[in-house]
Structure 1
Amino acid sequence: MRRPGPSSSCRHGSAALPTLLLLLLLLAASAQAQQARTRTDPVEADALKGVFDKIGREMWPSWFSSSVDPCTGAATDDTDTDIDHNPNLNPAIKCNCKYQNNTVCHITKLKMYALDLVGPIPEELRNLTHLTNLNLMQNYLTGPIPSFLGELTALQYLSLAINALSGSVPKELGKLVNLVSLGISINNLNGSLPPELGNMVKLEQLYIDSSGLSGPLPPSFSKLTSLKILWASDNDFTGQIPDYIGSLSNLSDLRFQGNSFQGPLPTTLSNLVQLTSLRIGDIVNGSSSLAFISNMTSLNTLVLRNCRISDNLASVNFSQFAKLSLLDLSFNNITGLVPQALLNLNSLSFLFLGNNSLSGSLPSSIGTSLKNLDFSYNQLSGNFPSWVSPNLTLNLVANNFVVSNSNNSVLLPSGLECLQRDTPCFLGSPQTKSFAVDCGSSSSMSGSDGSVYLPDDANLGPASYYVTGAPTWGVSNVGRFMEAFERDYIIQSLNASYTVYSSTRLFRNTPDSELFQKARMSPSSLRYFGIGLENGNYVVTLQFAEISFEDSRTWKSLGKRVFDIYIQGERKEQNFDIRKEARGSYAAVQKQYIIPVTRNFLEIHLFWAGKGTCCIPSQGHYGPLISALSVTPGAMGSDQNAKRRALAVCVTRKLSPKHCYRILGRVERGLGCGVHCSKCTFCSRDVFLLSCSCLVCLGSFACC
């Protein structure tokens, strides 16, 4: 019997299998051939090569070999398009290869981030006309922002922040109508913002902090209604904060600290109910209320520091601010009681109400998260509540509390009684006539000036104070380093990597390098106190050296630290810049003042007024810094030795008779040398050297 053969369908399937395999092979070959035919636009390839040739030759990418097209490999990988947040792709490009039937690639993203590139922005960039994202952040690019960037109209993200760019902002950037994010923070720009930038109506993020800009904010910015983030701190913007800022209702993060804005604050800010972070500070004049914040109940961070606010905390219903974690209303003129509802907020961790006119007693309870409270420099009084504990950082300096063993004060760091208003320790019965402190150090040392510098390594937090066991001096710190989750308030001299501590670096302009190896730093307000001093005139010597910023041509050198110096409540220095005065980092600079002490008490106050960069070499690196200080009796240079040194310098330095008479006259009156350095090597051209130790500087360092 004949066996049945395979069915027709089986016979056809068996025959079709080789055909299907052949078809797949042909398709794969076709795809490979298609990919082989896909090439980067030659104009863009040449432009990219030119960019790297000018500013990036040292990190020449592998795709610049003669046989490799730039738009290959990771550049065309659609699964990883966010090159800005991928540290393994730097430098990097991204391409779109769907042009002309998938035969032409255009470069759409270029990232050259934190590579310490040096030089001007290359002209060749103008030929990368399909760029949507250009990231040149954290380099050392110099020269102006080129106007041709305005021709790259496809750009959505442009970051030129943290560079050494100079000149004005070109009005041509206003042509970038598709721009979503613009960053020009931390540069050396000048002039005002061009009104043409108001044409960037899709802009959601604008970073112009620490850029060097000045003048009023242009009225055309009222058109930027898509803005969500506006950082404009540390500039010299003038006039009032415009009313139209209140119409930018999509804002979630607004920062206006360290400018020259006039008060009062516009009431239209009350419309910004989507804000989660608001930081305004350092308003020049006028008076404002707190009423405008009443509806900003989405706030997580609220800083209205040094804003000339005259109001009562009871004018705001703080119980509605359930998300608030940090509140800073310090350095205002806020009066009345501290509301219980404010301290009961369960999300609140940091509360800064210092330097106001608050009165009455402290509330009876606090929220579970509140661990850092500053009430210093108010008019508070009464008993200490039961919530006072060693687990809190609580600053009650300069109030009217009576400190005794019966009112929970034993739970506070000792010495608070010596730092209350009108009742400092040893009032009328002085105990000392000098002291010296090596700020941040854990051991004492003898200085070349004969002073013994005592250690100062107390673990101060965001709202802390410390008084020595035998109370001769104390220190108070207030403030939180914003954006820095953990930041020490004592820093050490670092090597170039900023990761390894060093204790052997030699500092210029001083025989006492050891004094400068460590320093105490504060994000807001740092005070040193002399306790039980004899009344009379004192020479207060403050010593500084910048140890956070490098001097080389790197983005890590672009940081700037600026603060004010007050002694006995009188401002002695405004916008003091250590590195500018010392002509570089790791160089000592000394400031000296004749200060009268009349109530056996001395206060030295270093105050941050919103100036300086925020985040170099890392986030939360700003505010006052001091290396050492000494307080000694007498007037500067009033002895015969000072006169002899002055005469010797006049002769050896061949100073003009006018200069010599000036020196001798000031020495005779006990006012210091007062020599103006017009041709200096290490000292600033614009300062007067204010002590006869400057005569050593004149002889040893050829300052004048």
Structure 2
Amino acid sequence: MILDACFVNDFGGCFFELLCLKVGKAAEEMWKSMSEEEKAPYEVKSGQRKVEYEKQMKAYNKKQENSANGIGDDHEVDALQAIRRKLKDPRKNLRNWRKGDPCVSNWTGVICTMPQPDGFLHIQELRMLNLNLTGKLAPELGQLSNLTVLNFMWNHNITGSIPKEIGNIKSLKFLLLSGNQLSGPLADKLGFLPNFLMFQVDLNQITGSLPKSFVNLISCKHFHMNNNSISGQIPSELSSMPALIHFLLDNNNLMGNLPPEFSQMPKLRILQLDNNNFGGTEIPASYGNMSNLVKFCQRKKRINGLMVQMVKL
């Protein structure tokens, strides 16, 4: 006799349900008969599982809330909170950073993208210009992977070094940190930003030499590092920055020779090197071939016009 498959399945299902009922009833009777001491280990395990369940539910609900209201990546929200903790805000410009979603609630200085292919908004710009902030720049800035503009200009009292983690933000185009008290050397990692257009850190207290890795900033057009304490020789390798238009290094502690290779920079229009320690360094004759250069400053002389005239001075 061949049994029908549906009958077997139905019978098996009913048998399983009956078995579960019997096991459950037996377990209930056994539990009632146990002492408090015997129950204790199971109650501990039950409590641990409850805590883990609540933790997972909290994370799930937070993700659902973010998905519905704005940012979907918890890491970006956490990064902003870490950035806030490193700063002091005497004028309370960032008081709305404590509630809601950064994009939907319009946190001060936070500019978000339009909805992305992943369905979420992301942090695109941090505009912290002239907010009278103090404190330090947090390494968590490097976790804002969709950032294109990072602007902390003219806060005057932001100290510490420029976090090397900013070099992780491959989408970054503008790093604007002028007018603070940032110090320490520039990290090599900052030289690996493929979309970088403007590097502006003038009027700070930056020390050390210029990293040779900056040669990799092939899209950079504006290089403003004047009024710091940058020292050493200008790396000749930087002449390979093909898009550079403004190269401002005046009022530093640079020394050595003026690289003749700078004459190979096809788009350079402004080169400011005055008030450094170049001593009796001569202006390379090759600079006379820089037809696009309209302003050259070296030592305390300001020279405008054609480079042929400048070289003859």
What TM-score comes out, normalization by structure 1 length? 0.32
* Cα deviations by residue, 1:20-46 (Å, 9 ceiling, x for unpaired): xxxxxxxxxxxxxxx982421322122
Deviation at 1:74, TM superposition (A): 6.1
Do the aligned partners of residues 292 and 49 (structure 1) sit closer, same or farther apart at CA in structure 2, a change above 3 Å counting?
same
Provide the rounded CA distance (Å) in 2 between the counterparts of 1:165 and 1:51.
16
- Aligned residues of 1:259 and 1:282 also touching (Cα < 8 A): no
Equivalent position SS for 2:223:
strand
Provide the rounded CA distance (Å) in 2 between the counterparts of 1:147 and 1:211.
18
* Cα deviations by residue, 1:154-198 (Å, 9 ceiling, x for unpaired): 111001222111211111111112211001212222221111111
Provide the rounded CA distance (Å) in 2 between the counterparts of 1:65 and 1:109.
18
Higher relative contact order (CA 8 A, sep 6+): 2
Q: Which residue of 2 aligns with 1:294?
A: 308
Equivalent position SS for 1:44:
helix
- Aligned residues of 1:189 and 1:213 also touching (Cα < 8 A): yes
Deviation at 1:209, TM superposition (A): 0.5
Q: Which residue of 1 aligns with 2:80?
A: 48
Deviation at 1:216, TM superposition (A): 0.8
Letter of the 2:238 partner, please give it: F
Structure 1 unaligned spans of 5+: 1-34, 76-90, 284-289, 296-303, 312-704
Provide the rounded CA distance (Å) in 2 between the counterparts of 1:124 and 1:242.
37
Q: Which residue of 2 aligns with 1:128?
A: 144
- Aligned residues of 2:258 and 2:284 also touching (Cα < 8 A): yes
Question: Is it true that 1:240 corresponds to 2:257 in the alignment?
Answer: yes
Equivalent position SS for 1:141:
strand
Provide the rounded CA distance (Å) in 2 between the counterparts of 1:291 and 1:190.
32
Provide the rounded CA distance (Å) in 2 between the counterparts of 1:36 and 1:147.
31
Letter of the 1:159 partner, please give it: L
- Aligned residues of 2:88 and 2:135 also touching (Cα < 8 A): no
Q: Which residue of 1 aligns with 2:288?
A: 270
* Cα deviations by residue, 1:392-436 (Å, 9 ceiling, x for unpaired): xxxxxxxxxxxxxxxxxxxxxxxxxxxxxxxxxxxxxxxxxxxxx
**What RMSD, in angstroms, separates the aligned Cα atoms of the two structures?**
2.8
Listed as ranges, the matches of 1:418-567 within 5 Å are: none
Provide the rounded CA distance (Å) in 1 between the counterparts of 2:78 and 2:174.
23
Deviation at 1:250, TM superposition (A): 0.6
Deviation at 1:63, TM superposition (A): 4.6
Deviation at 1:276, TM superposition (A): 3.2
Q: Which residue of 1 aligns with 2:191?
A: 174
- Aligned residues of 1:52 and 1:60 also touching (Cα < 8 A): no
Do the aligned partners of residues 172 and 293 (structure 1) sit closer, same or farther apart at CA in structure 2, a change above 3 Å counting?
same
Letter of the 1:46 partner, please give it: D
Equivalent position SS for 1:162:
coil
Do the aligned partners of residues 135 and 223 (structure 1) sit closer, same or farther apart at CA in structure 2, a change above 3 Å counting?
same
Do the aligned partners of residues 36 and 154 (structure 1) sit closer, same or farther apart at CA in structure 2, a change above 3 Å counting?
closer
- Aligned residues of 2:69 and 2:104 also touching (Cα < 8 A): no
Structure 2 unaligned spans of 5+: 1-65
Q: Which residue of 2 aligns with 1:251?
A: 268
Letter of the 1:51 partner, please give it: I
Question: Is it true that 1:183 corresponds to 2:200 in the alignment?
Answer: yes
Deviation at 1:265, TM superposition (A): 0.5
Q: Which residue of 1 aligns with 2:6?
A: none
Q: Which residue of 1 aligns with 2:68?
A: 37
- Aligned residues of 1:192 and 1:215 also touching (Cα < 8 A): yes
Equivalent position SS for 1:191:
coil
Letter of the 2:259 partner, please give it: P
Q: 1:107 aligns with which of 115, 123, 132?
A: 123
Q: Which residue of 1 aligns with 2:41?
A: none
Deviation at 1:116, TM superposition (A): 2.6
Q: Which has the higher helix share?
A: 2
Q: Which has the higher strand share?
A: 1
Letter of the 2:271 partner, please give it: L
What TM-score comes out, normalization by structure 2 length? 0.70
Equivalent position SS for 2:122:
strand
Deviation at 1:229, TM superposition (A): 0.7
Letter of the 1:108 partner, please give it: Q
Deviation at 1:110, TM superposition (A): 0.3
* Cα deviations by residue, 1:471-490 (Å, 9 ceiling, x for unpaired): xxxxxxxxxxxxxxxxxxxx
Q: Which residue of 2 aligns with 1:281?
A: 299
Provide the rounded CA distance (Å) in 1 between the counterparts of 2:165 and 2:293.
35
Large movers: runs of 4+ above 6 Å: none
Q: 1:225 aligns with which of 242, 249, 256?
A: 242
Letter of the 1:155 partner, please give it: L
Provide the rounded CA distance (Å) in 2 between the counterparts of 1:179 and 1:107.
17
Provide the rounded CA distance (Å) in 1 between the counterparts of 2:128 and 2:189.
23
* Cα deviations by residue, 1:270-327 (Å, 9 ceiling, x for unpaired): 23222333322248xxxxxx997238xxxxxxxx7xxxx875xxxxxxxxxxxxxxxx
Deviation at 1:117, TM superposition (A): 1.8
Letter of the 1:72 partner, please give it: V
Provide the rounded CA distance (Å) in 2 between the counterparts of 1:118 and 1:157.
21
Q: 1:151 aligns with which of 163, 168, 174?
A: 168
Do the aligned partners of residues 39 and 310 (structure 1) sit closer, same or farther apart at CA in structure 2, a change above 3 Å counting?
closer
- Aligned residues of 2:197 and 2:219 also touching (Cα < 8 A): yes
Question: Is it true that 1:64 corresponds to 2:97 in the alignment?
Answer: yes
**% identity of equivalent residues:** 26
Provide the rounded CA distance (Å) in 2 between the counterparts of 1:56 and 1:45.
18
- Aligned residues of 1:267 and 1:292 also touching (Cα < 8 A): no
Provide the rounded CA distance (Å) in 2 between the counterparts of 1:48 and 1:125.
8
Listed as ranges, the matches of 1:609-688 within 5 Å are: none
Deviation at 1:206, TM superposition (A): 0.2
Do the aligned partners of residues 292 and 64 (structure 1) sit closer, same or farther apart at CA in structure 2, a change above 3 Å counting?
closer
Equivalent position SS for 2:150:
strand
Provide the rounded CA distance (Å) in 2 between the counterparts of 1:72 and 1:267.
58
- Aligned residues of 2:209 and 2:231 also touching (Cα < 8 A): yes
Deviation at 1:145, TM superposition (A): 1.7
Q: Which residue of 1 aligns with 2:55?
A: none
Q: Which residue of 2 aligns with 1:388?
A: none
Provide the rounded CA distance (Å) in 1 between the counterparts of 2:74 and 2:305.
60
Provide the rounded CA distance (Å) in 2 between the counterparts of 1:130 and 1:165.
24
Listed as ranges, the matches of 1:684-699 within 5 Å are: none
Listed as ranges, the matches of 1:363-402 within 5 Å are: none
Provide the rounded CA distance (Å) in 2 between the counterparts of 1:126 and 1:310.
48
- Aligned residues of 1:246 and 1:269 also touching (Cα < 8 A): yes
Q: Which residue of 1 aligns with 2:25?
A: none
Q: Which residue of 1 aligns with 2:32?
A: none
Q: 1:138 aligns with which of 147, 154, 157?
A: 154
Deviation at 1:235, TM superposition (A): 0.9
Letter of the 1:118 partner, please give it: T
Provide the rounded CA distance (Å) in 1 between the counterparts of 2:130 and 2:98.
24
- Aligned residues of 1:269 and 1:292 also touching (Cα < 8 A): no
Equivalent position SS for 2:272:
strand
* Cα deviations by residue, 1:521-551 (Å, 9 ceiling, x for unpaired): xxxxxxxxxxxxxxxxxxxxxxxxxxxxxxx
